[in-house]
Amino acid sequence: MTTLDPDRADPTQVDSASSAASTGASPSHVEVERATAASRVGAGLALVAVVVFGSAPLWARTSVLRTLIGFFTLLALATMWNLLAGYAGLVSIGQQAYIGIGAYGLYWLSDSAGLDPFAAVPLAAVVAAVISVPVAVLAFRLRGGYFAIGTWVIAEALRLLVANISQLGGGSGVTVTAVSGYDRQTRIYLTYWLAFTVGVGAVTLTYLLLRRRLGLALTASRDSETSARSLGVDVYRVKLLVYVVAAFGCALAGAVIYLNLLRIQPDAAFSVNWSAFMIFIVVIGGVGTIEGPIVGAILFVVVQETLAQYGAWYLILLGVIAVAIALRARHGLWGLLAERTGISLFPVRRRLKLPAPPTAGGSR
Amino acid sequence: MIGGPPLLDVSGLDAWYGDFQALFDISISVGEGEVVAIIGANGAGKSTLLRTIAGLQPRTAGSLTFDGAALAGVPAHRRVALGISLVPEGRRIFPSLSVEENLLVGAQASRPGAWTVAAVLELFPLLGDKRRRGGSQLSGGEQQALAIGRGLMANPRLLLLDEVSLGLAPIIVRRIYEALPAIRAAGTTVVVVEQDIGQALRAADRVYCMLEGRVALEGVPAELDRDQIATAYFGVRA
Amino acid sequence: MTTANNLVQGLLLGGLYAMFATGLSLMFGVMRLVNLAHGDFAILAAFLALVIVDGTGLHPLLTLAVAVPAMFVLGYLLQRGLLNFAVGGDGLAAVLVTFGLSIILQNLLLELFSADSRGLDAGAIEDTSLALGRLNVGWFPLLTLVTGAAVLGGLQLLLARTRLGRELRATSDDPQTAQLVGIDHRHAFAVATGLALATVAIAGIFLGTRTTFSPALGPTRLIFAFEAVIIGGLGSLWGTLAGGMVLGVAQTLGAQISPGWGVLTGHLVFLAVLAFRPSGLFGKPVTT
């Protein structure tokens, strides 16, 4: 059986979407294959990991749980950023806007409006999603590097706005007191499971999204907008959808982060450092792959835990690595691994399986 | 008109665009003072060959020698200083620059020689009163003349002309080719890539015909007949 | 402070913002590269000036003689050694690399100089002002505006009248064909970045003299520069000066209404321009 991979990362291969979709040439002989042996192994490993980490409150100390909360929320953030930049070609440095909205949304809905804080988390994310629509309309008027700065400006505007609103604590910030209704242990368990759900959910959602036509539409748009448009892909709508999903995801993660930290200040919640973390994780792990943010998040948390005592040097180190990888190994650490071994744990590509060519007069 | 060693010697040249091989084992030579034409259908590799000689083609194998010295590893801008000037396909005038500035920037390599702005404007009078105009405001024929003039400003020993007749009215094309003898008289060797076979055969001392990345025919125009050319051009197999 | 005074302050501030924006505009114009570390290089220059001042007792403005050439060389090497490999493509690499640089620079400065605010003392000139009718115009802000206009004008002249300027414009039009006329495009790009960093060094030192600075201040400078460019309109250097002035006025008038609203007002004006006149006040219509 000859296997053709229609969407290799070759810039001259423009219409991966159409070649995969037009397998109707001889439907009885051509199969579209998605899973490989390695991906089945990957699925198995993922299941094991889910069980192990899902039960973490049963076997881990509180400090470990806090680290894991950090990991899963960063994983969610990185996955969202990857969805935006790696798949939709939208390089945003302003996702911290939605982290802040998630955080302040949590505060306002629970402390001011009296909702249960754990229920306020998803609601805050909905608020963020709604806000992200007009933001996108504005931001999409800019392209490339200027789009990136534009998203940053919007986040900054939000930061200053919030810092000027006294009901939200102004510049000195607020504390989420609504959780005081829970005892410490229950609170941390619930927060952990929320973080776990958000992290695993983000990865799963992205995987499912990309397996469907949205994924093809995105890859096609990323490779060549004009070609994609000529195939009927509504590029604007697709990008808008992705942007809103990413806003929702980042706000979800942001709300959980501050549910854990409890103290919210505008300079921290809306800090561009969140973008730095997201970008470093995804770039080092591997842009445009689902496994990349996972690898990157693990590395990041390890580096952060071990080197944080040295002050800002760990950020400098990560920055240097990220720059080097952005220039020399475009697909990050996971990309390097995948290129060597060809494995893919979360396959979103489609492989065409063609019947063997006739033996007489074959091309090779 | 070959006397002595060739000015340009191409031997066993291969070239690739990514994984796609565009040139296969090309061997041509151009003697000083000659006008050589390269003809062939679309996609035959003519432009690729010129681009390779000019140094714009990243993946190549084989030998390229200019005036006895190997060109391997010499970047494109340095080849201009050596005396190779390519007038690219599609004119490629600099739109942010005026006509005069386009010519001035052509002299970037500062090679000594007879070609100055005045000399170029004398060769192409149609540009004369448009010195200050923006490069993008010219007609097709004017742009082509400007592009050639820009190429001449480098005072090249070897001028490569890529598809100068493309998209131009025949009368304009003829006017462009009328400038060739003056260019030649100044001592420049010229390689012309052309789709207009008649024009190429009239202007050239020798002609190569390329087909699908290979040299299919070589000869003096007077000695080649239509059938030979048609076979080499279209690849009609008997 | 009266509104009229604030208006003048804002206009003068525009000169500083225009200085910041010049380099950003230049790099984008020549090689479509947005340098997210642009503001941080200004702060780097300010710290460089500080080091020189602390070491030699030189007047801050005299440090320009050392800082400007030094930053030019830094910019040249940066482009040649690093950014040339990030140019082109979909622009993702350029954003990532320059953003990474920004983070690295900020944290490096943080480690070397701590987060404390510093200032450059230019002496008497900072405190004196010119009385124009009922307005008090500080000499230093006036000098800043004049310098900003001079930097912009100088760059404009360079691009329009000199051989180097032709080289840069040709390279920005068509880097490949530029090679065909003998231009080393990698060198041209590097010169552009060198010029960009040289101008932002001037901006940084003027900034450091005018107010206090700290390692984390870079990004806001980048944002102001960017806002000035967009408000003024892409593709117009003098538009950038106008954009800087609009931004400056918005900020000072906003601060007059309420101290915390200064910078925010600037952001809101920027967003309004983006919403209702995306090509800027003086820019050519944007074709995406």
Q: C271 and A146: CB-CB below 8 Å?
A: no
Calculate what percentage of chain B has a pLDDT beyond 90.
53
State both tokens at C105.
């620079």
Please name the residues between 59 and 98 in chain B that touch chain C, using a CB distance below 8 Å: 75-78, 80-81, 85-86, 88, 92, 94-97
Query: Structural domain boundaries of chain C?
Result: 3-216
Predicted pLDDT of residue C20: 94
Q: How far is CA C143 from CA C71, C208, C232, in A?
A: 22, 14, 22
Coil, strand, or helix at residue C108?
Answer: helix
Judged by average pLDDT, the poorest of A174-178, C79-83, C280-284 is C280-284
Assigned CATH class of A30-354:
mainly alpha
pTM more than 0.95:
no
Which has more confidence, C284 or B26? B26
Average confidence (pLDDT) over B206-227: 89
Q: CA-CA distances (angstroms) from residue A196 to A63, A74, A154, A245, A291?
A: 15, 11, 29, 18, 17
Which residues in chain C have their CB less than 8 angstroms from residue A287's CB? 92
Distance from CA of C183 to the nearest CA of B (A): 6
Q: What is the pLDDT of residues C220-259, one digit of tens each?
A: 999 999 999 999 987 778 889 999 999 999 999 999 988 8
Give yes or no for B104 touching C (CB within 8 A): yes
Look-up of token digits 């998630």: A102
Average pLDDT, chain C: 90
Q: Which of A90, A93, A147, A160 is the best substitution to test chain C (most C C-beta atoms within 10 A)?
A: A160
Tokens of residue B211, six digits: 């087909």
pLDDT of the residue at A335? 84
Q: In this structure, what token pair is assigned to residue A210?
A: 């990309």
Residue C88 in this model has a pLDDT that exceeds 80: no
pLDDT band of A364, cuts 50, 70, 90 = very low
B3: in domain: no
The string of pLDDT tens digits covering residues A106-146 is: 999 998 888 898 999 999 999 999 999 999 999 998 888 88
The pLDDT assigned to C221 comes to: 93
What chain A residue is nearest to C109 in terms of C-alpha separation?
A312
- Rounded to whole angstroms, the Cα distance separating A18 from A10 reads 15
Least confident range of A337-346, B90-99, B217-226, C130-139: A337-346
**Both structure tokens of B15:** 């070239």
Q: Do B86 and B191 meet the contact criterion of CB atoms below 8 Å apart? A: no
Phi and psi, residue B11, nearest 5°: -140, 120
∠ CA B215-B220-B224, nearest 5°, is 80
Minimal Cβ distance to A138: which of C258, C263, C274:
C274
Distance CA C140, CA B15 (A): 61
The band of A290, judged by pLDDT with boundaries at 50, 70 and 90, is: confident
B227 versus B102: which is more confidently predicted? B102
Quick one: how far is CA A310 from the chain centroid?
A: 28
A chain contacts of residue B19, beta-carbon cutoff 8 Å: 10
Beta partners for residue B193, in sequence order: B38, B162
CA A332/CA A284 separation, integer angstroms: 5
User: Which of these ranges, A196-200, B141-145, C276-280, has the smallest mean pLDDT?
Assistant: C276-280
Question: What pLDDT does residue C204 have?
Answer: 95
Is B2 part of any domain?
no
Q: Which residues of C touch A275 (CB under 8 A)?
A: 99
What domain count does chain B have?
1
pLDDT at C108 over 70: yes
| Chosen from A168, A316, A317 to mutate, greatest number of chain C CBs within 10 A | A316
pLDDT digit string, tens, across residues A210-222: 777 667 677 766 6
Q: Do C260 and A160 touch (CB under 8 A)?
A: yes
Q: What is the pLDDT of residues C161-207, one digit of tens each?
A: 999 999 999 999 999 999 999 999 999 999 999 999 999 999 999 99
The shortest CB-CB distance from C86 to any of A141, A287, A327 is to A327
Chain A, chain B: beta-carbon pairs less than 8 Å apart: 5
- List chain A domain ranges: 30-354
- Give the residue from A200, A178, A203, A183 showing the smallest Cα distance to A291: A203
What is the side-by-side order of every strand in the sheet holding B206-211?
A: B84-87, B158-162, B189-194, B35-40, B206-211, B214-219
Distance CA C195, CA C71 (A): 9
